[in-house]
Amino acid sequence: MSKPCLLILLLFFTATSFAEEKSLSYEQSLLQTISDIQHFKHDQALADTREFIQQYPNSKVGQLLFGDLLMAKAGVISGIGSGIAKETGLNNLTFEIKQRLSHKQSQVFSGYLPENIIQIADNQPYVIIIDQSQSRLYVYRNEQGTPVLEADYFLTIGLKGYGKQKRGDQKTPIGVYHVTRYIDDQELPDLYGRGAFPVNYPNVWDSRKKRSGGGIWLHGTPSYTYNRAPWASNGCMVVSNNDFLNIQQYIEPDLHTPIINTKSINWITTEQWRNNQQLMLQNLSKWINDWESNIHQRYTEHYSKNDLDIEGRNYKQWEGHKRWVNRDRDNIKIEYSNLNIYKYPGEEELVLIHYDQVYNSNNLNTDGAKELYWKKQADGWKIVYEGSRNFFKPEEKLVEN
* pLDDT value of position 178: 98
CATH architecture of 270-388: Roll (3.10)
Give the end-to-end CA distance of the chain in Å, rounded to a whole number: 38
* pLDDT value of position 226: 86
- Mean pLDDT, residues 351-363 taken together: 97
pLDDT for 3 beyond 60: no
- DSSP assignment, residue 234? S
* pLDDT value of position 197: 98
Residue 68: half-sphere exposure toward Cβ, Cα within 13 Å? 25
Q: Torsion angle of alpha carbons 108, 110, 116, 117, nearest 10°?
A: 100
Tens of pLDDT, residue by residue over 291-342, are 999 999 999 999 999 999 998 999 999 999 999 999 999 999 999 999 999 9
* pLDDT value of position 337: 97
* Range with lowest mean pLDDT among 29-33, 153-157, 252-256: 29-33
- DSSP assignment, residue 146? E
Between strands 258-262 and 126-131, the pairing is parallel
pLDDT level of residue 1 (50, 70, 90 thresholds): very low
122-267 is classed CATH 2.40.440.10:
yes
Higher pLDDT, 397 or 12: 397
Q: Are 247 and 139 within 8 A, CB to CB? A: yes
**Which of left, alpha, beta for 85 (phi over 0: left; psi -120 to 50: alpha)?**
beta
Tens of pLDDT, residue by residue over 88-142, are 667 888 888 888 888 766 657 678 999 999 999 999 999 999 999 999 999 999 9
Tens of pLDDT, residue by residue over 233-287, are 999 999 999 999 999 999 999 999 999 999 999 999 999 999 999 999 999 999 9
Closest CA to 228 of 173, 162, 159: 159
* pLDDT value of position 104: 67
Tens of pLDDT, residue by residue over 42-69, are 888 888 888 988 999 998 888 888 877 8
Query: Where do the structural domains in the chain lie, given as residue ranges?
Result: 6-103, 122-267, 270-388
pLDDT level of residue 161 (50, 70, 90 thresholds): very high
* Range with lowest mean pLDDT among 21-25, 36-40, 184-188, 320-324: 21-25
E strands in 50-180: 113-114, 117-119, 126-131, 136-143, 146-154, 157-158, 175-178
Phi and psi of 330, rounded to 5°?
-155, 170
E strands in 115-216: 117-119, 126-131, 136-143, 146-154, 157-158, 175-178, 183-184, 195-198
- Mean pLDDT, residues 147-157 taken together: 95
The mean of the pLDDT values for the chain is 88
* pLDDT value of position 102: 80
Closest CA to 34 of 94, 86, 108: 94
* pLDDT value of position 88: 62
Rounded Cα–Cα distance for residues 286 and 284 (Å): 6
High-pLDDT (> 70) share of the chain, %: 86
In angstroms, how far is CA 17 from the centroid of its own chain? 28
pLDDT for 152 beyond 80: yes
pLDDT for 9 beyond 60: no
Rounded Cα–Cα distance for residues 9 and 101 (Å): 13
